[in-house]
Amino acid sequence: MSLHDSDCSPDSGIRIVRRSALFLPLALGAACVGARIARAEADDDVEPPCADVFSELSRDEFAAHWRSTGRRLSSAALAHDEIYAAQLAAWIARIPLDQLPRLDVGDRMPVSGLLAGPSWFPSPCIVVEFQMQPGAVLRPHNHPPQVVVTLALEGECEVRHYEVGADAPPCTVIDGTQFDVRETKRALLTPGRTTSLTRTRDGIHGFVAGESGATLLDFTCATTDDIETFSYLDIDPSPIGTSRDRHRARWIGKE
């Protein structure tokens, strides 16, 4: 099963790049790094640059960083979403995965192979956990007005991101009106890998679990109290015309 209810195997994505095109930038980069190392070794008092950015974060330290930045996001310009998302992904990479709070599912049974719910509330932010059985589908859906970084915790899954076209009505209009969406990203998520969306980029995402299932964590920060602008989408698997990444879609609501 796939996000389009059809074969979702990604294209090979293989590209042949002439080695000569890569040689000069790599050589220059290596030369610069070598020069910096030589200068550092020549001066025992020189502290290695950015040593602290690689250090492990405790759960409390991570939460403090995230809360502080999340509180500023609602008043920040849209262009700052990218800075926020990149910084959050960097912090996530520094916290041991076993320190992250987990969803207490109790005796709940999965619906269509999926269990989901909030697992952590470092206000004004929230973490939502998705436990997906093998082959389970988390349908494409939007997240305005939020910025979300999704972490693969266990297993593996395919993620696809989309952006809506200019002809799209508000997602609260559930009347069958069709509009264009463009697939902007497709990737395989395995433990420790992240993907993100912002208020202006890749704002729709959907997931298909692999053969061993998958567990995902959505690190979400809302920029308003609006909880109505959410909807799943029905996306036609057939591309529009000769396009490979554009499809027709319609909003189908929250159910």
d(C-alpha 5, C-alpha 137), whole Å: 9
Residue 64 lies in a domain: yes
d(C-alpha 156, C-alpha 213), whole Å: 6
Residue 75 lies in a domain: yes
* Range(s) of the domain holding residue 178: 54-253
Whether the Cβ atoms of residue 150 and residue 127 lie closer than 8 Å to each other? no
Residue 197 CA to chain centroid, in angstroms?
A: 6
d(C-alpha 199, C-alpha 123), whole Å: 19
Residue 62 CA to chain centroid, in angstroms?
A: 18
Residue 4 lies in a domain: no
Of the candidates 60, 83, 63, the one whose C-alpha atom is nearest the C-alpha of residue 73 is: 83
Residue 17 lies in a domain: no
Q: Which residues pair with 204 in a beta bridge?
A: 142, 162
d(C-alpha 156, C-alpha 100), whole Å: 18
Q: Show pLDDT as tens, one digit a residue, over the chain (255 residues).
A: 556 554 444 444 434 344 334 433 434 444 444 444 445 445 555 555 556 889 999 999 999 999 999 999 989 999 999 999 999 999 999 999 999 999 998 888 899 999 999 999 999 999 999 999 999 999 999 998 999 999 999 999 999 999 999 999 999 999 999 999 999 999 999 999 999 999 999 999 999 999 999 999 999 999 888 877 899 999 999 999 898 999 999 999 998
The enclosing domain of 116 has a CATH number of 2.60.120.10
Residue 165 lies in a domain: yes
Residue 29 lies in a domain: no
Residue 171 lies in a domain: yes
Residue 222 lies in a domain: yes
Domain count, the chain: 1
E strands, the chain, are: 114-120, 125-132, 137-142, 146-164, 179-189, 194-197, 204-222, 232-235, 246-253
